[in-house]
Structure 1
């Protein structure tokens, strides 16, 4: 289901921690994490300290990044189950961090929270359990 422009604008006004919380709720609601891919696989961002995979809660946010030097990239959904069972262990093993919900034009990693995959997985699992109790 496509997001309304008003929702896109509202969420774009949130700070990095608020977008992290939004992402956790949204991923549990939709069952998908979105990444960008190119001919070489998942797109990576580099911070001073970490190599990171950027992730978004919805297709529209991922596609906002697929411009300029990233225009050949495509947004790809990963099911929550795949994220938990394949991506988290793989990213941990390779030593990659995750930059959660960066916004375009913001410098990327500075505007998204950088977390370890295990931490993101833990927050998603906690939210899944919480949502089942509602």
Structure 2
């Protein structure tokens, strides 16, 4: 289920809320989210207020970040079940937020929405239930 280049281009021009909605729908469709990891674990981003784990809806977008200073990082998929039962509680316990679907760039308007793990988990769970009801 690889993305077409035109879909990647359209998403790159979307705002953070549109990318958030896309991540939720794509995660329900594929059953997974993507993060980047290095030898120390999950890659972190720092906003003005929060330490965040970035998540992406697809391998292609995670790979876009694995360049430059992050060239040693590897994309890793996380199933929605793993996200729900392991990642959400772990991130909450450690006080980390999630930055949803950031785009590479100068770090301004390309930033994704910063949400708490329980908020993302709630949106994913709601979307899964809605998809299963169809």
Fold conserved (TM > 0.5)?
A: yes
Q: Which residue of 2 aligns with 1:11?
A: 11
TM-score by length of 2: 0.97
Q: Which residue of 1 aligns with 2:41?
A: 41
Q: Which runs of 4+ in 1 moved over 2 A?
A: none
Q: In structure 2, do the counterparts of structure 1 residues 110 and 64 end up closer, same or farther at CA, with 3 Å as the change threshold?
A: closer
- How many angstroms apart in 1 are the aligned matches of 2:31 and 2:40? 25
- How many angstroms apart in 1 are the aligned matches of 2:54 and 2:33? 10
Quote the offset at 1:108 in angstroms: 6.8
TM-score by length of 1: 0.97
- How many angstroms apart in 2 are the aligned matches of 1:97 and 1:103? 17
Quote the offset at 1:106 in angstroms: 4.0
For structure 1, the 5+ residue unaligned runs are none
Quote the offset at 1:110 in angstroms: 5.9
Q: In structure 2, do the counterparts of structure 1 residues 26 and 108 end up closer, same or farther at CA, with 3 Å as the change threshold?
A: farther
Q: Per-residue displacement from partner, 1:73-107 (whole Å, max 9, x unpaired)?
A: 00000000000000000000000000000000141
- How many angstroms apart in 2 are the aligned matches of 1:29 and 1:115? 21
Q: Per-residue displacement from partner, 1:41-75 (whole Å, max 9, x unpaired)?
A: 00000011110000000000000000100011000
- How many angstroms apart in 1 are the aligned matches of 2:108 and 2:75? 16
- How many angstroms apart in 1 are the aligned matches of 2:105 and 2:17? 18
